[in-house]
Amino acid sequence: VGLARLPHQNSARRQRQGAHLTLMVAGQPGCGKSTFINTLFGTPLLAISQPPPPTSQVKLHRFDLEENGFRLRLTAIDTPGFGAAIDNRQAWLPLVDVVENSLRSHVFQAHQPDRSELLDMRIHCCLYFIVPSGNLTPLDIHTLQELSVRVNLIPVLAKCDTLSHDDMLRFKKLVRQVLRVHSIPVCGLVLDAVVLEKIAAVAPYAVMGASSVHTDQAGRPVRGRKYKWGMAEVDNCNYCDFAALKSILLTDHLLDLVEATEAHYETIRSQCLSQRWVQASKIDRNLSITNPNYESLAQKVRQGFDQHVAAEELRFKAWKNALLDKQELMNQELLATRTLLLKVQAEVEALQ
Ligand SMILES: Nc1nc2c(ncn2[C@@H]2O[C@H](COP(=O)(O)OP(=O)(O)OP(=O)(O)O)[C@@H](O)[C@H]2O)c(=O)[nH]1
Ligand SMILES: [Mg+2]
């Protein structure tokens, strides 16, 4: 009866509709985040920073990409200066805020009467770039922990061309141990065990970014970084995990990441709604637990509110006093007029 063509219908519909991917990159300044995005999509989407690195600010970039008629709406969330401050104890907070706000904003938008302008900002995957120093910082570990429970997190070893092959393998092993010891899941929102196993098997992904094309010994064009000792090829899976990561993000598991994020969103949505309507006070408590800055922020807002109320009260008092003064003046004028009137009346009576 034609049921066997259902998968074709589905794929034709997907082809028509295109896909939507929101990718977040995080890591220390200059570790190659923007270069990686450009390399991944094979086009200069993001600006590459020259030293000194730009100041810290979370930035959103939206692109419409097309390949063979298939459209991908890409949102790249760049976090240029993460961890560059002197005091980095709370440096992970803006990243967590970005992830949580993307979900909260979707809950908010989904409950508006008109959803035609709905902007889906839910982050499907966050790539956390680890600098190729051979070690993880406490900030790295804490950030990985905080992000891993909120988003599909994939740790990557940045600029792997700056490490020897042995150092790279050693560093990968160390990161794997750290992830295990601290119970940090890779793509923790994905529920499909087979997919999960496949993604986690290679993590952390040793990657490099390069936009220049060179010719290899066989005369073929290859993307890579050319050194005196030879070439570090981006797409060569014997050299780094770029191709493996690319296939997970774009070729094989894009939809798994999107679906996992949507399932996670459903949980957050129901939590948000039950908290919003039933346990409003609990939200405050949860916020203060998840966000250490919350108490000081709340105090600042309260102080601001008190100051505003005091200023308004003063303004109101001054206005009331001015009105009373004006009333007093008018009373006096009225009295004077009345006295004059009585005097004139008395004079008129005397004349009569
Ligand atoms: N050796 C090497 N250099 C890289 C790699 N990726 C990027 N770079 C260089 O590192 C510098 C910074 O790259 P960006 O991509 O701007 O780094 P970023 O992490 O986006 O930097 P911020 O936005 O400042 O945080 C540039 O000079 C790049 O050419 C890589 O894989 N290997
Ligand atoms: Mg950048």
Name the residue with the closest Cα to ligand 1, atom 30: 159
Q: Is 159 in the pocket of ligand 1 (CB under 6 A)?
A: yes
Distance 291 CA to ligand 2 centre (A): 26
Name the residue with the closest Cα to ligand 1, atom 9: 32
Distance 134 CA to ligand 1 centre (A): 18
Mutate to test the pocket of ligand 1, among 38, 41, 48, 246 (most ligand atoms within 8 A of CB): 48
Q: Is 211 in the pocket of ligand 1 (CB under 6 A)?
A: no
Q: Is 188 in the pocket of ligand 1 (CB under 6 A)?
A: no
Q: How many CB atoms lie within 10 A of CB 40?
A: 22
Q: Is 290 in the pocket of ligand 1 (CB under 6 A)?
A: no
In CATH, which of 3.40.1790.10, 1.10.260.40, 3.40.50.300, 3.30.70.3340 is domain 3-290? 3.40.50.300
For every one of its 352 residues, what pLDDT tens digit does the chain have, with 9 covering 90 and above? Answer: 677 777 778 778 777 878 888 989 988 888 888 899 999 988 888 877 666 555 456 778 888 888 887 888 888 888 766 666 676 777 788 888 888 888 888 888 888 887 777 788 899 999 999 998 888 888 899 999 999 999 999 999 999 989 888 999 999 999 999 999 999 999 999 988 999 999 999 889 999 988 888 887 778 888 888 888 888 888 888 889 999 999 999 888 988 999 999 999 999 888 888 776 555 555 555 555 566 677 788 888 899 999 999 999 999 999 999 999 999 999 999 999 999 999 999 999 999 8
Q: For residue 265, give both structure tokens.
A: 């969103």
Q: Which atom of ligand 1 is nearest to the CA of 53?
A: 24
Q: What is the pLDDT of residue 281?
A: 52
Q: Is 223 in the pocket of ligand 1 (CB under 6 A)?
A: no
Mutate to test the pocket of ligand 1, among 45, 49, 77, 212 (most ligand atoms within 8 A of CB): 49
Give domain limits for the chain: 3-290, 296-352
Q: What is the pLDDT of residue 134?
A: 82
DSSP class per residue in 145-192: HHHHTTS-EEEEE--GGGS-HHHHHHHHHHHHHHHHHTT--SSTT---
Q: What is the pLDDT of residue 52?
A: 52
Q: What is the pLDDT of residue 55?
A: 47
Q: How far, in Å, CA of 176 to CA of 286, rounded? A: 31
Enclosing H/E stretch for 233? strand 230-233
Name the residue with the closest Cα to ligand 1, atom 28: 32
